[in-house]
Amino acid sequence: MEPIIKPDKKSILKNRARSLAMVPEDLSAENCLHIAVFSIGNELFGIETVYIHAIIPLKECTPLPGAPSFVNGIINVRGQIMALFNPCEIFQIKRIDLPVSGKIMILESPDHQNIFGITVDSIDNTRRILLDAIKPIPQNISGSGTGFIRGISSSGIALLDAPAFISSSMLIVNQSVEH
């Protein structure tokens, strides 16, 4: 014997099923960014996943005497020597200590010419963000790192302008040597 469902409940269940079956937003590749969300201090950032070469556990780096304060040093990743940067200095974020569970996010330009690491407190997740949901940086926010921020998502994630960040002359280590 089939359970008896009152007409009110039946229509409620149909409406629920219909609303759950609907795709709420157009998350097609043309309308959104696929980003990795990470934290630095108490701030959340996102960067397009196409610019992430690797994510590795924290490791010792070799300091570079005379380097700017945002340069932690250099690291060897699978035989490749690269610079390691402290984004707290670039974005003027207060961080007491980098947690032991912190990571190094290796970023790489599409042409493979620029590759370096940044220290992050944690990698939270990946997600898609609608391009229309990205708002400009508020006027009252300023600082040296704001030129690397593309905008703010509706959930409060600061989206890095990856091409500007990766190709910045501030972060490119000149590998040529003149004799």
User: Is 179 within the bounds of a domain?
Assistant: no
User: Is 22 within the bounds of a domain?
Assistant: no
* pLDDT at residue 80, rounded to an integer: 92
pLDDT of residue 93 exceeding 90, the answer is no
User: Is 7 within the bounds of a domain?
Assistant: no
Provide mean pLDDT across the span 122-146.
83
Look up the CATH number of the domain holding residue 150. Answer: 2.40.50.180
* pLDDT at residue 57, rounded to an integer: 94
Whole-angstrom distance, CA of residue 73 vs CA of residue 85: 7
Q: What is the pLDDT of residues 150-169, one digit of tens each?
A: 999 989 999 999 988 888 87
* Beta pairing class for 43-48 and 158-160: parallel
Q: Above pLDDT 90, what percent of the chain?
A: 41
Domain tally, the chain:
1
pTM: 0.74
Query: Maximum distance among all alpha carbons in the chain?
Result: 92
pLDDT of residue 105 exceeding 50, the answer is yes
With residue 124 as reference, give the H or E element that holds it: strand 122-130
User: Is 136 within the bounds of a domain?
Assistant: yes
Quote the domain boundaries for residue 159.
38-166
User: Is 14 within the bounds of a domain?
Assistant: no
Whole-angstrom distance, CA of residue 105 vs CA of residue 126: 14
With residue 13 as reference, give the H or E element that holds it: helix 7-21
User: Is 112 within the bounds of a domain?
Assistant: yes
Tokens of 68: 């700017």
User: Is 178 within the bounds of a domain?
Assistant: no
Band (177; pLDDT cuts 50, 70, 90): very low
pLDDT of residue 141 exceeding 90, the answer is no
User: Is 49 within the bounds of a domain?
Assistant: yes
pLDDT of residue 122 exceeding 90, the answer is yes
pLDDT of residue 133 exceeding 80, the answer is yes
